Structure 1
Amino acid sequence: MTLTYENFASAQSFFLWSTFGIALIMGAVVNKTNFCTMGAVSDWVNMGDTGRLRAWGFAIAVAVLGVMGLEAAGLVDVTNTFPPYRQTSLPWLESLLGGLMFGIGMTLASGCGNKALIRIGGGNLKSIMVFVIIGVIAYFMVNPFPGSDKTLYSTLFYPWTRPAALSLATHQDLGSLLFGDKAATGRIVSGAVVGGLLLVWVFKSADFRGSFDNILGGLVVGLAVLAAWYVTSNVRINADGEMMSLQAYVQNWDFYSPADAVRPADAAPLSPQSFTFINPMGQALGYAAGKFNHTLLTFGVMALVGVLAGSLLWSLLSRSFRIEWFASFRDFVTHLVGAVLMGFGGVLGMGCTIGQGITGVSTLAVSSFIVLASIIAGAALTMKVQYYLMMRS
């Protein structure tokens, strides 16, 4: 079912405000249930508790199975997306390196990008610094320095990471790679296997089955990712009888739009997409630097605001709002280094624990699985090193 509007302004307004609404619910529930991907790895590595890890797995399963069904029904487009998860290039080195950097960074900074927003909503001032640092790094990873055509990515990474990327004859999702010309069938089979196996593992645990918060957190995060895919895939504009996506409309702006209409700065962020939080922090920085020019307002920016607002709302309702600051200079430096690593790693790996770990994996893109595994490995290794150093001190 398409969501059709008669003009661009109305369609864009729904596109952005529906994003805010979905993110608001997700932010409140994540705060309420303590859904935390870094915490999930920490519980597993340090205590052998897999409850929150299974909640993360449940969110992935919901997103994978949901996308499988909706894509088979023609109700979502997860091939022509922003960012391009199913691209025909497989940047395995960038995915591996980005995931490791992000996993290390989120451990040092007490949580991933989404968790930083949740913590800000709960009164944590440390996470404001993390947010800003990530935003600056993410912005200049994709935008050139003033007076230059160079970005952090083109200067530090492109010359040696991009040549390692594999050029594929098809899209990089499991369905295309394993089933060739029968990619549509392959995606159904692959999605059913991945989602089904995850569900079996998740609900095999009696402790998980008895945890309302873990079930609720995983379910809502998975459904939020799915809802965003649905909305961004189906908003349409009736352009002289032709149903057009927002991206296509902007690309043909001069032909269809009234003379007094204001064109968005970029058409790409109007593509089908779902939640990710590192690159949008860079978009938020650009939006603020652009004096909050509405042409720079994107899905990503609205998602950040929605999650933060939802977390704040729950913090106030539950009376859990607490101001928190750095415990020491060492604590400050640790968070600073973690934020820098997350900024670099999140853009290099094209996503975070949510952006690749759930949203990307829901497309069955191979690079998303690489990033997810690398994030977990980087976080687990860092926690082991921290524990070793603590025991020696």
Structure 2
Amino acid sequence: MITGILYGVIAQASDFCVRRGIADFAEGKGLAGATGWLGAIFIALPLTQWMLTERFLDESQMVYFPESLSWWTTALGAAAFGIGMMLTRGCPARLVVLSATGNLRAWFGLFVLGISAYATFKGLLAESRVHLQQTGTWDLPTESIFALFPEFDRLLIGIGTTVIGFFALRHGLSRSLIGGLLIGALVAGVWWATAILGSDDFDPINPVSLSFVAPLGETITYVQLASGLEPSFNVALIGGVILGAFISSMIRQEFQWRTFESVADHVRYFLGALLMGVGGILALGCSTGQAITGFATGSIWSLLVTIIIFTSGYLTHARLLKSK
């Protein structure tokens, strides 16, 4: 819950949004809008790599290093997620934050996203998903891309962090950048905390960090079946983000009821949320779970998914601009 509250406050106060960076780039505004995402990677990458190098984290316990995975369903899911993110004008994390500020469009998107995600993960579509994910599999390295070069891993991590830092800081210390830096620290901190908790021999758990697609579906399920169930980390995360963003919006006097302007807007959000829900499960994460948390692990799958999400998002936004 504390993790979620911190994220909600930070993301709402800093207006943190991964999608905005992609949209601004498609509009010819350069990388200024991406400073938040770059700032998050600038902090999360070296800290996560340090934990992997020192064996505080084990790749075999992380979802980002599967022994094999279907390349085409993963790519399809990432592309669908990128399209959906632009249609709804926000990724899952952003929708959670906006919902807490009185945005009814975001609430609608969250319900569609959460239901479609869990239907794909554990519901009506789960069996078909599992069958499809067993086709066209690739066996990629089950370790950080930096670990593939053990003699130069620290040097490569340093170079990568420096390059990311250069692009993150070149536009100055903006509110978005500060938010990104704090969120990057939060990603690494959650890895550390869950790794420590998971080391209990009597009740071991796999280390996790920030992600928002499957957790939304899990939260909706928990709300309906809460009697006798203990809230998981994912449920506490979503609840905490909503609470933190609400508190921040009230303090900053930014809480305001908003809703759809037209039927077309309603349809756009429905399709976008549906694509993000299904796509996020197929891609094993979202613009937070893969493009920040997974990216920081150095997973080759996460790098590929991030590239596809950003590319499909860019092309979708460019197309939407032309249609206007």
CA shift, 1:175, in A, is: 3.1
CA shift, 1:102, in A, is: 0.6
> How many angstroms apart in 2 are the aligned matches of 1:153 and 1:143?
5
Structure 2 equivalent of residue 175 of structure 1: 146
Structure 1 equivalent of residue 255 of structure 2: 321
C-alpha contact (below 8 Å) 2:48/2:188 kept by paired residues = yes
Rg comparison, structure with higher value:
1
TM-score, length basis structure 1: 0.78
1:329-368, CA deviations, whole angstroms, 9 ceiling, x for partnerless residues?
1111000000000001111001111100010011100110
Secondary structure (helix, strand or coil) at the match of 1:61 reads helix
CA shift, 1:161, in A, is: 4.4
Out of 89, 93, 117, which is 1:110 matched to? Answer: 89
Tell me the C-alpha RMSD between the 2 structures.
Answer: 2.0
Out of 267, 276, 297, which is 1:342 matched to? Answer: 276
Counterpart check, 1:283 vs 2:218: yes
The number of residue pairs the alignment matches comes to 324
C-alpha contact (below 8 Å) 2:103/2:256 kept by paired residues = yes
1:130-154, CA deviations, whole angstroms, 9 ceiling, x for partnerless residues?
1111111111212144xxxxxx143
**Identical pairs, percent:** 24
> How many angstroms apart in 2 are the aligned matches of 1:186 and 1:299?
36
In structure 1, runs of 5+ residues without a counterpart are 1-19, 146-151, 237-243, 252-269
C-alpha contact (below 8 Å) 1:80/1:271 kept by paired residues = no
CA shift, 1:87, in A, is: 2.1
Out of 233, 236, 249, which is 2:202 matched to? Answer: 249
Give 2:3's aligned amino acid. I
C-alpha distance 291-210 of structure 1, shift in aligned 2 (>3 A): closer
C-alpha contact (below 8 Å) 2:59/2:143 kept by paired residues = no
C-alpha contact (below 8 Å) 1:35/1:52 kept by paired residues = no
Structure 2 equivalent of residue 154 of structure 1: 127
Counterpart check, 1:51 vs 2:32: yes
Structure 1 equivalent of residue 168 of structure 2: 202
1:304-330, CA deviations, whole angstroms, 9 ceiling, x for partnerless residues?
111111111110001100000111111
Give 2:172's aligned amino acid. R
CA shift, 1:210, in A, is: 4.3
TM-score, length basis structure 2: 0.93
Structure 2 equivalent of residue 234 of structure 1: 196
Give 2:189's aligned amino acid. A
> How many angstroms apart in 2 are the aligned matches of 1:190 and 1:154?
41
> How many angstroms apart in 2 are the aligned matches of 1:81 and 1:187?
21
CA shift, 1:286, in A, is: 2.0
Alignment of 1:19-98 (within 5 A): 20-74=1-55, 76-82=56-62, 84-98=63-77
Out of 169, 178, 192, which is 2:158 matched to? Answer: 192
C-alpha distance 317-29 of structure 1, shift in aligned 2 (>3 A): same
C-alpha distance 64-34 of structure 1, shift in aligned 2 (>3 A): same
1:347-390, CA deviations, whole angstroms, 9 ceiling, x for partnerless residues?
10011111000100111001101111111111111111111111
Secondary structure (helix, strand or coil) at the match of 1:249 reads coil
